[in-house]
Structure 1
Amino acid sequence: MDAVALASYIFSKLKKLEEGHVEFLTGGNIKTMEDYKFVMGELSMLRTLRAELKEALQFEGDPDE
């Protein structure tokens, strides 16, 4: 598996995890503020990882930008 295929695979997994967290939040599954903070922290981390990976893939594709 080359680097781009691996990055694409990871990107799609991160997106699915993010969607699951959003569904969990909007589905009324949060019972405590601690749960809310935990899920929001994970959601923030997933979004940051996706943004960083996207940036790295764009750099890999065109190093002159």
Structure 2
Amino acid sequence: MQYQQKNWTFTLWGRNLFDKDYYTRGFFFGIDPSTEYEDRVYTQYADPRTFGMTVSYDY
């Protein structure tokens, strides 16, 4: 959602609004010596619910 007034711009934004858990990236390799470098899946979850407002001024 965006609102403009003269040289000002106000933007509301949000990500992962339903706060779902999902992976954004993953790797499959052996790096842990305690498991004798057995291949394993390493994943990273997405950021939690995030929202904010950006204000900008153009001159």
Q: Which has the higher strand share?
A: 2
Same fold (TM over 0.5): no
Instruction: Report the TM range for the smaller structure's normalisation.
Output: under 0.3
Q: Which has the higher helix share?
A: 1
Q: TM-score, normalised by structure 2?
A: 0.27
Greater Rg by CA: 2
Q: TM-score, normalised by structure 1?
A: 0.26
